[in-house]
Every structure is written in C-alpha cells, then in structure tokens.
Structure 1
Amino acid sequence: MTSSDWDDWLVREIEDASPEGVAVWYLGCNGFVLKGTGGTTIFIDPYVGVGDPPRTVRMIPVPFDPEDIGEADAVLATHEHTDHVHGPSQAPILENAGATFYAPDDSLTVAREDESWTEEYDVADDQLVEVTEGETIDIGEFTVHVEGANDPDATHPVSYVVEHEAGTFFHGGDTKPSEEFERIGSAYDIDLGALAFGTVGRIPDKETGEPKRTRWYNDENQIVEAAADLELEALLPSHWDMWRGLTSDPKVLHHHAKSFEYPNRLELVEIGDRVDL
C-alpha cells in the first residue's frame, strides 16, 4: 500500500471538524468525505492507489493512509472500476472504523470475489451491502438515494443523492449526461453536485499497450449539459486532476456554463479542499 504524502493531517482535520451543517472534503480523483453536524461521516469513492503505470499514472498526492481512519459510518462506491472500488483504499476503513460498504452488485463482486476483502481484511460479510437504483438508505443523519448513472465504460454504475437538513449533495461517479437527469433534477433540490471532468487523451490500451484515443470523463459541454439537467445550484468538477494524459483545467467551464440557468455557480476545488453546505 502506498503511504500518504501528507501524513495524517487531513484525517485529523476531518475527525476534529464540527460542521454547522455538512462539510464536504475533496480527496482528489472522484473521492469525497461528507461529515454532518451530528458527526456522521460518509466516504464516497475514496482511492489512494497509484494506478497502473505507465498506463494510468497518478498525478496528485496520496492524501491519507486508510489505516489512519478510525471514524467513518459508511463507504459508498459508484461502480466497479479500480479507482472506485479498491481494497487497499477502502477495506481498512471498514476494518478500523466498522463502516458499512454500500455498492451495486458488480462492485460487490470486486470486493467479495476479485479482491476477497472478507479474507484479506478483518471485514465481515454483513459490512458489504448491495444497493440498486430506487433504494433509499438512512446513514445516521443522512438520507442516501440511489439513482441511475450513464457510464458506458462501467457494467453497473449508480449515482447518489445525499440529503441532509443543511443541504443536498449529488455524486455522479463517472457518469455522462443521462436521460434520467431531468427527472432527478426535478425530484431533488441539489445544492452541490460532483461530476467527472477531463480531456480526451491517448492512453495505452489495456491489452496491446498501444496508445489509444480515450474519453473516460465529461468534456466541457457534456458536464454543463448534465449539470443543467440536474438543476445543480453549484457544480464541482472532479477527476480532472488524476490521470496523466486526461487532466484538464476546470476554470474553462465558466465560459461554457455562463449562458445556462444551471449551474448557478462553479465550485472549483483542489485535493484536500473543504466546501460547506
């Protein structure tokens, strides 16, 4: 396991925080931590791996060591890709904090069968809970709604709408625009939404190793289309910082978003930054 470049200061900051509503920390890649005023703490897609160099090369620091995390109620996964379901990043959180892992079926297959979390770590099978679209889960002071997602590269992706009396957070995983988003935008009043953003680059093919034109995340127009359909009050672009060859500059989104009713503003953050609802 790669050790943290930042020691444990970010973990301690999260544990010591007493938000008046909901604090949201960006972990880089597509990882987030939500902590409510009552102390409930939810991790979504935390990943501290370095990828698979030279195909996928991590471009940002490793912000924490999962072994240092002792306070967490849940870990949510959006889909089965390595930077969203990763035993070395997530199983120690379940082991040390007693957190529950919520994920769709194909993500649980990775945890149970491909990576054998219950054998390799002190994780009980009942800590691994399957979710599917249309379900609602109560996690402490948060209500989590499982919704659909449109990620053509994943086998079963979902998105999450996380409600709290202080505000509502949307995590789309690596979704592209979806026909479902207009319905979701009408059904929920979303204060802050995280959508994956990046450029198109040439990444070595998994089988041949030859560079291949690759689009894993939303471009400028797609991310604004999704944000507009979701009626996001604020759009937080994620994932743009992570992989060599696919990084981008989220500041360009001001030009693409300015003529649309939604999002009303951009929330541009870097790894380790905190936003409050």
Structure 2
Amino acid sequence: MAIESDWGDWLPNAIADATPERIAVWYLGCNGFAMKASDGTTLFVDPYVGLGDPPRTTRMIPVPFNPEDIEEADAVLATHEHTDHVHGPSQAPILESTGADLYAPDDSLAVARDEEDWQADHDIDDDQFVEVSEGDTLEVGGFTIHVEDACDADATHPVSYVIEHEGQTVFHGGDTKPSDEFTRIGEEYEIDLGILAFGTVGTVPDKETGEPVRTRWYNDENQAIEAASDLQFDRFLPSHWDMWKGLTADPTVLHHHARGFEYPEALELVEIGDRVDL
C-alpha cells in the first residue's frame, strides 16, 4: 500500500542537507529516529510511517515523509519485530533506493524476509539483511553501534542500541521496560541522549474478539524514570507517547518524577519533526 506524507519532502531534505557538528537526531514520531554524523553517515532507527490498524491502533500524528523520498541512508536499525518497528512499506523503499542495510535481530529479519517478503516487490539484495544479537558491535560509517539487551515482554527478541560518534553517545531502547541489565549498561557507557518509549495504560481492542483489553505497551512515568536513572542518561528523550489513540501521554509530567533522581540530568521533550543536536 502506497503511503502519502502529510508533509511532502521537507523532512528528508532537511536531513540530507544537514551538516552536524557531531550528531544530529530527528524525531520521526512513534519510535522512529534519523541520526546523522558529522561525516554524513545517516541511520534510521525504527522508522514507521504506517497508519496502524484502525480501530485497534489508530495513528494520531502526521505521516512525516514518504519513504521513497529518502535518498541518503547507510543503515536502518530495527529494535524488535512489531509492525511499528519492522514495516515493509516504511522501510523496504529506503533499502531499495539507498542500498542501506537492515540491521535487526533474528525475529525482526524473519518478518522482512519471510512474513512480508520485502524482496518480492523491492530490489533488495540478500546481503542487505544483517542479523544482530546482544553483544555485537557494528561499524557503519562514522558510527559505532553496540547491540545491547532490552526487556519487552510483548516482543519475542528485542534489542537496544548504543550508538557512538566522536565522543557522543545515543541510546535507543525500542519499547523496553526497566531491565536488570540497565545498571551495567549505564556504567559501561556515558549516555548523552537516551530514548525510551513512554505512554499511558489504555484499552485496545483484542485482535480476535474486538473486546477492549487493558493494555500497557510502554513505560509509565515511574518505569521511564527508573530505566533512565539506571542507564544514567544525561538527557532523556521520551518517544512513542504521541502515536496510538488511547495510549497517548503528556511527557511534561516526567519532570515531576525525574527531579528526585540524579539521572536523567535533563528532559529533552520533542515533537514529531524536531531536531536535537549533540
């Protein structure tokens, strides 16, 4: 299904034209991010421009770009296999037009290769699918990417990413909740900007029956700050709070929860399309 952006091509152009001093990060809505290094290396993490599956999942924010308008990308990273993190209509056109590799854990690659069969409709080579697992370290242009643990009971094999360039470090946790591994990760890396999914508990119609089910897909306020504290974020950027009807949240409330802890040192509250520089 073709996806039509509400915004045209200005955001892909802004990313392509940017010349960051170190790392620039753009919030794409949901849990999607673009990251560009000072040497021009460009990553996309969990980019999703799908519309969900109304009325079960109803998108509450604009579609910020057409995947076909992405002309520069060195890699797409997927944190886990859920549709809003691995999605053919959002990501296959990027791989086809740019030659970027998809780095993802095994169950995420199974979606791309088998369940959705991206190669049936897109010119994607087998070697563009690269399997990663916890403990791996990747070099993509100017970025060094460490694959780390994540704790998401709703996913079959989630991972998180620690992304480094010129002394700056970004953590993307996917939809992780607090984990026993986070104290270790926080001590091992100096995380300048950390990204965690945040949302409310709401009711979502069951896939089979359509009956409303009490659902917690993302961190609540206390979980978000617990994870950010254990990971020792300098700056905490909450994501995903804007996306699904019934699960949206107000990230400003995190100020009240964070002020009693040493970390995170600051909250970085952004809206879809915003840029953050490190």
Q: Same fold (TM over 0.5)?
A: yes
- The change in CA–CA distance for 1:206 and 1:212 in structure 2 (over 3 A counts) is same
Mapped pair 1:164 → 2:165 = yes
> Which residue does the alignment assign to 1:147?
148
After TM superposition, list the pairs within 5 Å mapping 1:74-93 onto structure 2: 74-93=75-94
> Which residue does the alignment assign to 1:51?
52
CA contact (8 A) 1:193 1:234 kept: yes
Mapped pair 1:268 → 2:273 = no
Residue 117 of structure 1 aligns with an amino acid whose one-letter code is W
Gaps (5+ residues) in structure 1? Answer: none
Shift of 1:166: 4.2
Shift of 1:202: 0.7
> Which residue does the alignment assign to 1:229?
230
Residue 270 of structure 1 aligns with an amino acid whose one-letter code is E
Deviations 1:31-53 (A, max 9, x none): 00000111000000000000000
Q: Give the 3-state SS of the residue equivalent to 2:6 in structure 1.
A: coil
Deviations 1:7-48 (A, max 9, x none): 000000000000111000000000000001110000000000
Mapped pair 1:177 → 2:178 = yes
Q: Give the 3-state SS of the residue equivalent to 2:130 in structure 1.
A: strand
Residue 195 of structure 2 aligns with an amino acid whose one-letter code is A
Shift of 1:172: 0.1
Task: For 1:256 and 1:43, locate their aligned partners in 2 and report how far apart those are by CA, in whole Å.
Answer: 30
Structure 1, 209-218 or 114-123: larger mean CA deviation:
114-123
After TM superposition, list the pairs within 5 Å mapping 1:1-277 onto structure 2: 1-277=2-278
Deviations 1:124-172 (A, max 9, x none): 1100000000000000000000001000000000000001114100000
Residue 173 of structure 2 aligns with an amino acid whose one-letter code is G
Deviations 1:74-122 (A, max 9, x none): 0000000000000000000000011000000000000000011122211
Task: For 1:234 and 1:152, locate their aligned partners in 2 and report how far apart those are by CA, in whole Å.
Answer: 26
Task: For 2:223 and 2:33, locate their aligned partners in 1 and report how far apart those are by CA, in whole Å.
Answer: 22
Aligned residues: 277
Give the TM-score of the pair, scaled to structure 2: 0.99
Deviations 1:216-273 (A, max 9, x none): 0000000000000000001000000000000000000000000100000000000000
Task: For 1:186 and 1:26, locate their aligned partners in 2 and report how far apart those are by CA, in whole Å.
Answer: 26
In the TM superposition, structure 1's runs of 4+ consecutive aligned residues that sit over 4 Å from their partners are none
Task: For 1:166 and 1:90, locate their aligned partners in 2 and report how far apart those are by CA, in whole Å.
Answer: 29
Q: Give the 3-state SS of the residue equivalent to 2:36 in structure 1.
A: strand
Residue 109 of structure 2 aligns with an amino acid whose one-letter code is L
Shift of 1:206: 1.0
Q: Give the 3-state SS of the residue equivalent to 2:107 in structure 1.
A: helix
Task: For 1:179 and 1:112, locate their aligned partners in 2 and report how far apart those are by CA, in whole Å.
Answer: 32
Quote the sequence identity (%).
73
Task: For 1:207 and 1:269, locate their aligned partners in 2 and report how far apart those are by CA, in whole Å.
Answer: 35
Task: For 2:235 and 2:16, locate their aligned partners in 1 and report how far apart those are by CA, in whole Å.
Answer: 26
Task: For 1:147 and 1:168, locate their aligned partners in 2 and report how far apart those are by CA, in whole Å.
Answer: 14
Residue 249 of structure 2 aligns with an amino acid whose one-letter code is S
CA contact (8 A) 1:75 1:102 kept: yes
Task: For 2:273 and 2:205, locate their aligned partners in 1 and report how far apart those are by CA, in whole Å.
Answer: 29
Residue 120 of structure 1 aligns with an amino acid whose one-letter code is D
CA contact (8 A) 1:42 1:73 kept: yes
Q: Give the 3-state SS of the residue equivalent to 1:152 in structure 2.
A: coil
CA contact (8 A) 1:22 1:166 kept: no
